[in-house]
Amino acid sequence: MDQQLILDRYRPLQQLARGGFAEVVLAYDTRMQRRVAIKRLPFPRDGSGRVTAPVGLVEARTAALLNHPNIVSVHEWDTDADEAFIIMEYVDGTSLAEILDREGPPGLDAAAAVVEAVASALQFAHENGVLHLDIKPENVLVTHAGHVKVTDFGISALSTAIGHGPNVGGTPGFMPLEQLQGEDVDERTDVWAFAALCFELLVDANPFATDSIEGAIFKAGVIDPPAPSEFDRTLPAAIDDILLAALATHPGDRYGTVAGFAARLLDHLGRPDQGRVELAEVVASLQDEQIDVARDWERIGLWDRTRPWSGFAVRALAAATSGWLAWVGLAELTLSGPAHTAGALLVAFVATAVPALGTALGLGAFAVGLISATGWAVGTAFLLAITPAWWYAGRRENALLGGLAAPPLGIARLAPAAPLLTGFGATPLKSAVAGATGAALTMLASAASGGRAPYLTVTLEWFADPLSTRIMSGNVRELVSTPAPLAVLAAWAGAALAMSLACRRAARTAAIGGWVLGVAMLYAGYALADVVARSVNASVTWTGDALLPHLAASSILVVLVIAAGAPARAEEE
């Protein structure tokens, strides 16, 4: 389930549940390296289709952030332009609804374990001024250890705030009359819903179940509910009176607190400790969903797993690139050995702290050295070309590093991989700028180190002294003697753009499509350059045997990168 990252951090793995206005997905937190459950709630839209500004989000956020052993923890609570995201701990188990559906009533010991845990969670919430307002079997989760947790605190308030759900949230069949009619609610509202849950827990039936609000109002306000013993004659008779009192139509006739109701009910149930053991056995028998989750977990790619350390990799690359640029540029000045070394190290150190600033300093030092070695014309031309590229693609996103990495890749005959790898990880337009920059630098480095068309091979010796007199050699003059390089610039930019657009889906299959299209654009660009160059000099060859080894080696590298993991790209840009 390769998809774009949610909130630029969470990789969706599979859909866990979907309701009328929300969905829950299992996701991988690429920052904290753990599985989480994410509830996504879209904001409503007006008649023209525009998203309307929701109200009450602060209250819903506060309600969600309760910390209790029997409450599912909320790690993060955030919104974007049209959705709310609640990032919760992933409970490796199943819901009470699934247990009832697959196994039926779990017995008095297991029922005691559920009642004790849910009551503890609700009482804690009430003591902190939070109502649940949507207690139902789907919102009670049981782990593989038999531990019971309540989820979706604050969701009812949120659903109301953003225009979903009847009146004050809730689910028909688990809402008392006052909630159904939009009247004031309090702790006794949760007492009624909890009692309806306990009724279903004990006999696997809900006398208030219905598909409509009207039907729920009729059943909750007009019809007297049957006694639980009518469904199961083995239940202690005292349970009838306790549950029916908690299910009274008028709040004043119910138990005043969840704790009071649960204490009375637990006196007639089994042993909670034994119940947790039984629940663990039941959850262990329901393995099919857990198997699917495990398979999705195994598909987490290398780039997601290593994302917490990606910042270090970027800083290391920026430091190496900037330090080298500074070393080369300062070498052309009349500096002492210690001063030369200190200057390069200082730029590298700045790049480790602020990669964009370090890159700018390195490029500036290189430009100064270029002016010193070749004169103002070449140095000024370099500055005029590289400054807007850095401003757009390197000032904030560090995409320009992909272009600066192209000449080193040329040593291993991998230069064409640079635009494709840049597109794999950066946004489209910045990738295109970095791709064009990489093409220009690679062609110049190849020509200056003695290479010929298609100017993809860079010698290792060139890196030791790139600003030697050979920079104005005949190869460089031959390179710029025709418009052919313009076709290559466009091809690299187009390949990076195509790869980036394909990778916006953050899926391996889409990335493969981007690679195929990118390679095709690169070859087409070099073929066009070949036609242009041959119109001037028939002996110049930009394609064929001179190009294909580079494209083949680069394709192998790009395919390996794609196979290692889906692109770590944000869902919302």
Supply the pLDDT for residue 59.
57
Supply the pLDDT for residue 447.
86
Q: Across all residues in the chain, what is the average pLDDT? A: 85
Domain count, the chain: 2
Given a contact cutoff of 8 angstroms between Cβ atoms, the answer to whether 414 and 553 are in contact is: yes
| 501/414 same-domain check | yes
- Which band of pLDDT confidence, cut at 50, 70 and 90, is reported for residue 34? confident
Tell me whether residue 570 is in a domain: no
- Which band of pLDDT confidence, cut at 50, 70 and 90, is reported for residue 218? confident
Tell me whether residue 57 is in a domain: no
Supply the pLDDT for residue 52.
62
Supply the pLDDT for residue 162.
47
134 is catalytic: yes
Residue 526 reports pLDDT greater than 60: yes
| 280/419 same-domain check | no
Supply the pLDDT for residue 73.
87
Tell me whether residue 14 is in a domain: no
Encode 272-331 in three state secondary structure.
HHHHHHHHHHHHHHCCHHHHHHHHHHHCCCHHHHCHHHHHHHHHHHHHHHHHHHHHHHHH
Domain boundary among 272, 298, 324: 298
- Between 533 and 558, the higher pLDDT residue: 558
Average pLDDT value for residue range 539-545: 82
User: Residues of the chain with pLDDT > 70: what percent?
Assistant: 88
Average pLDDT value for residue range 36-64: 69
| 242/328 same-domain check | no
Tokens at 182, concatenated: 């939009």
Amino acid at site 193: A
Tell me whether residue 187 is in a domain: yes
**Residue whose C-alpha is closest to residue 400's, from 335, 466, 314, 331:** 314
Domain boundary among 298, 325, 359: 298
Average pLDDT value for residue range 57-69: 73
Domain boundary among 298, 314, 336: 298
Supply the pLDDT for residue 505.
78
- Between 401 and 18, the higher pLDDT residue: 401
User: Residues of the chain with pLDDT > 90: what percent?
Assistant: 43
Average pLDDT value for residue range 333-342: 86
Burial of 125-162, coded b for 16+ CB within 10 Å and e otherwise, reads: bbeeebbbbbbbbbbbbbbbebbbbbbbbbbbbbbbbb
Tell me whether residue 75 is in a domain: no
Tell me whether residue 1 is in a domain: no
**Residue 472 structural domain:** 303-564
- Between 297 and 386, the higher pLDDT residue: 386
Percent helix, strand, coil in the chain (nearest 5)? 60, 10, 30
Tell me whether residue 86 is in a domain: no
> How many CB atoms sit inside 10 A of residue 36's CB?
23
Supply the pLDDT for residue 256.
92
* Least confident span in 236-240, 256-260, 274-278: 236-240
- Between 9 and 495, the higher pLDDT residue: 495
| 274/344 same-domain check | no
Active-site annotation holder among 2, 29, 109, 134: 134
* Least confident span in 109-118, 375-384, 510-519: 375-384
Residue 302 reports pLDDT greater than 70: yes
| 439/501 same-domain check | yes
pTM assigned to the model: 0.69
| 200/224 same-domain check | yes
The residue ranges of DSSP E strands in 140-222, in sequence order, are 140-143, 148-150
- Which band of pLDDT confidence, cut at 50, 70 and 90, is reported for residue 165? very low
| 239/258 same-domain check | yes
Supply the pLDDT for residue 422.
95
| 266/318 same-domain check | no
Burial of 164-186, coded b for 16+ CB within 10 Å and e otherwise, reads: bbbbbbbbbbbbbbbbbeeeebe
| 339/477 same-domain check | yes
- Between 467 and 41, the higher pLDDT residue: 41
CATH of the domain at 163: 1.10.510.10
* Least confident span in 1-10, 200-209, 316-325, 559-568: 1-10
- Residue-wise pLDDT for 267-293, tens only, equals 999 999 999 999 999 998 886 545 455
Residue 55 reports pLDDT greater than 60: no
Q: Which H/E stretch holds residue 15? A: strand 10-18
Residue 168 reports pLDDT greater than 80: no
| 287/332 same-domain check | no
| 330/453 same-domain check | yes
* Least confident span in 197-206, 332-341, 543-552: 332-341
| 393/294 same-domain check | no
Residue 104 reports pLDDT greater than 50: yes
Tell me whether residue 207 is in a domain: yes
